[in-house]
A and B are shown apart, each in its own frame.
Chain A
Amino acid sequence: MSSITKLILDQQLLSITIDRLCYQLIENHNDFAETVLIGIQPNGVFLSQRIYKRLLLIDPKIKSKYGEMDISFFRDDFRRREMIVPSVTTIDFIVEGKRVVLMDDVLYTGRTIRAALDALLAFGRPASVELLVLIDRKFSRQLPIEADYIGKSIDTISSEKVKVQFLQPEGEDGVWLNTSEKSS
C-alpha cells in the first residue's frame, strides 16, 4: 500500500474560500440578529472559529451568537464503530426561533449532520437550519442531506481521505486529499 497526497486548497485559496463563505453568509443573514453559528465538534470548530472571527473583522456590528456542539451521544454508530470520545458543548443560549447555521469541515455520508440535527433539538426549535461545509464530497451521501454553503466540491472514492488542517498552533493551513493505492 502506498499513498498519494494531493493538495486541494492551499493556504491562499483556503482564505479566499473562507472569505467567500463569509460574504455568502452576510448576503443571506443581514446583521445576524436572529442568527446563531454552531460549529460541530471536534473538527468543525476550527472552521467555525475561523469564519466567526473573519465575519467580525468584515463587519464588527454583526450580532450573531456563536456556539460549539458535541454530537457524540446522538451518533447512530455508537457501539458499531470505533470508540466515541465526547468533547465539550458550549452553547449558552436557546436556539428557539433562531436561524441556525451548522458548520463542519467535511460533508461525506451525512450521518454527522443527521446526529447534529438531533442534538440541536435539545436546545429548542430553530426557525431554520442551514449547513455550511468547507469540503463537500459528492456522490457519497447515505442520507438525503445537502449543504447550503460549500467551500469546494470534490469527487472522491470511499478509500480516499480528506484531511483539513488549520493553523493551530503551528503548521500549514490547507486541505489535502489522501489516496491509498494498492501496489501490485
Chain B
Amino acid sequence: MSNQLSVRHLLGIKDLQKEDIELIFSTATNFKDVLNRPIKKVPSLRDITIANLFFENSTRTKLSFELAEKRLSADVINFSASGSSVSKGETLIDTVNNILAMKVDMVVMRHSKPGSAIFLSKHVHANIINAGDGTHEHPTQALLDAFSIREKIGNVEGKKVVIVGDILHSRVALSNILCLQKLGAEVMVCGPVALIPRYISEIGVQVEYNLRKALEWCDVANMLRIQMERQDIKYFPSLREYVMLYGVNKVLLESLKKEILILHPGPINRGVEITSDVADSSQSIILNQVENGVAIRMAVLFLLAQTR
C-alpha cells in the first residue's frame, strides 16, 4: 500500500483512487485508537494553521472538523458567512486570499455552490478540503460512512447498499455512490421519481422506486434527509405521503427476512425518513458514524499535510 495520497486537495471522492481510500481508512484506524486514550491529542500538526470557512450552515461537520484539527494540535480559525464581508459583496477568492494572507496552510470549506471547492483549489495555494459544496460532493461524509460500514460488517466489497430519499439534492448521495463503487460495493438509489436524477443509472447505479423491494435487496440502507431548503418547487405532493411511501419504521424492518444496517448522515427528521424507534435501535449506527467522523477527518488532514 502506498503511504501518500495521490491528491493535494480533497475536493471529491471522484479524484481519489481506491488506494487513497484504503490509506485514509488505515490511518483513521490509528487515530480512532488515539481517540480512545485518556489523552486524545497528538502533536503532528502543531506547525499548521487551518481555516474553517463555512459559507453554509453546519453543526456536525463543523464541530467534527474543528475537533479533528484540535486533536492534531493544529491552530484553528473559524469563519461563518453570516455577519461577514461576504454580505458586503466580497468575492470568494478575495475572502479566501485575505484569510490566507494571515499565513493559513489549509482550508476546510463548505459552500452552497457546486464546484466552489474545485474553483478555489485552482486559485489559491493552500490545501483545500471540501466539507460540502452545494448538491455536488461531501467526501468526508462518504468516507466515514464507508468506514463505519466496514467496521460493522467487515468489508464493503460485494455488499449491497441502498441510498434512500432525496438523491437529487444530496451531496452525500453522490459522494457515497462514488466511494462505495470504488470499494467494490453494489449501489442502489430509492426515492420518489422526482427526487432521482434522470441519468443516474448511467454511473452504474440501480434505481428502485419501491422501498420494500429496495430494503429486501440490500445489506445496508443509508437514509437521507429531505432537503427542504434546496427545493424551489414541490417535488412530491405532501410530506405525509412521503413518510407513507419512503419512511422506514420498525414494523417494516422487522418484516424483512434479514437484519440490515441503518445509516443516517444527520440531521435526522424523526418521523420523516426514519422513526425514532429505528433511529435508536441496535441496527442503526448513526452515532458510530459521528464518532468515526472525527477519526476520518484527522486522517484526511494528517495525510494532506504530508503532501505539503
Binding site for B on A (CB under 8 A): 70, 72-74, 78-79, 83-86, 88-89, 94, 118, 121-124
Contact of A122 with B43 at beta-carbon distance under 8 Å, contacts A79-B308, A85-B3 already known: no
With CB as the reference atom, state the residue of chain A lying closest to B30: A86
Known: A73-B34, A74-B43, A123-B38. A79 touches B306 (CB 8 A): yes
Whether A124 touches B38, Cβ cut-off 8 Å, given contacts A79-B305, A86-B27, is yes
B38 touches A118 (CB 8 A): no
Interface residues of B in 23-78 (CB under 8 A from A): 26-27, 30, 33-34, 37-44, 47
Find out whether the CB atom of B27 lies under 8 angstroms from the CB atom of A122.
no
How far does the alpha carbon of A88 sit from the alpha carbon of B34 in the complex, in Å? Answer: 10
Using CB atoms, name the residue of chain B closest to A75: B44
Whether B80 sits at the interface, judged by CB under 8 Å, is no
Contact across chains for A83 and B43 when beta carbons are under 8 A apart:
no
Cα distance, A85 to B30, chains bound together (Å): 10
Which residues of B lie under 8 Å from residue A73 when comparing CB positions? 30, 34, 42-44, 302
Contacting residues, chain A, for B41 (C-beta < 8 A): 122
A122 touching B38 in the complex, CB below 8 Å, given contacts A83-B4, A84-B306, A89-B33 = yes
Tell me which residues across on chain B come within 8 A of A94, comparing CB atoms.
Answer: 38
Which residues does chain A contribute within 8 Å of B4, judged by CB atoms? Answer: 83
B30, chain A: closest CB distance, angstroms: 4
> Of A74, A79, A88, A123, which is in contact with the most chain B CB atoms at under 10 Å from its CB?
A79
**Chain A proximity mask over B268-308: 1 for CB below 8 Å, otherwise 0:** 00000000000000000000000000000000001001101
Tell me, in angstroms, the Cα distance from A161 to B33 when the chains sit together: 33
Query: What distance in Å separates the Cβ of B218 from its nearest Cβ neighbour in chain A?
Result: 33
Known: A122-B41, A123-B38. 6 other contacts (CB 8 A): A72-B30, A73-B34, A73-B43, A73-B44, A88-B33, A89-B33
CB-CB under 8 A from A121, the residues of chain B are 39
Q: Are A122 and B39 in contact (CB under 8 A)?
A: yes
- In whole angstroms, how far apart are the Cα atoms of A118 and B34 in the complex? 13
CB of A74 within 8 A of CB of B42, answer yes
Q: 1/0 per residue B151-189: CB within 8 Å of A? A: 000000000000000000000000000000000000000
> Dominant SS at the A interface?
loop
Q: How far is the CA of A94 from the CA of B302 in the complex (A)?
A: 26
Are B30 and A70 touching (Cβ within 8 A)? Answer: yes
Query: How far does the alpha carbon of A84 sit from the alpha carbon of B30 in the complex, in Å?
Result: 12
Contacts of B40 in A (CB 8 A): 122
Which residues of chain A come closer than 8 Å to B33, judged between CB atoms? 88-89
Q: Is the CB of B44 within 8 A of A122?
A: no
User: Closest residue to B73 on the A side, CB-wise?
Assistant: A73
Given A73-B44, A78-B44: A83 in contact with B306 (beta carbons within 8 A): yes
Min distance, Cβ A137 to any Cβ of chain B, angstroms: 26
CA distance A70 to B34 in the complex (A): 10
How many Å from the CB of A122 to the closest CB on chain B? Answer: 4
What is the bound-complex CA distance between A115 and B4, given in angstroms?
A: 22
Residues of A within 8 A of B43 (CB): 73-74, 118
Q: State whether B37 touches A122 (Cβ < 8 A).
A: yes
Among A70, A85, A121: residue with most chain B CB under 10 A: A85
- Tell me how far the C-beta of B71 lies from the nearest C-beta in chain A, rounded to whole angstroms: 10
- A67, chain B: closest CB distance, angstroms: 12
Find chain A residues with CB under 8 A from B37 CB: 122-123
CB-based contact A83/B3 at 8 Å? yes
**Which residues from A are CB-within-8-Å of B26?**
86
**Nearest-neighbor residue (CB-CB) of A85 within chain B:** B3
Name the A residues within 8 Å of B44 (CB-CB). 73-74, 78
A54 to B34, CA, bound (A): 30
Instruction: Tell me how far the C-beta of B75 lies from the nearest C-beta in chain A, rounded to whole angstroms.
Output: 15
Minimum distance in angstroms from A76 CB to a CB of chain B: 8
Min CB gap A83→B, angstroms: 5
- Complexed CA–CA distance, A123 and B41 (Å): 11
Residue of B nearest to A115 (CB): B43
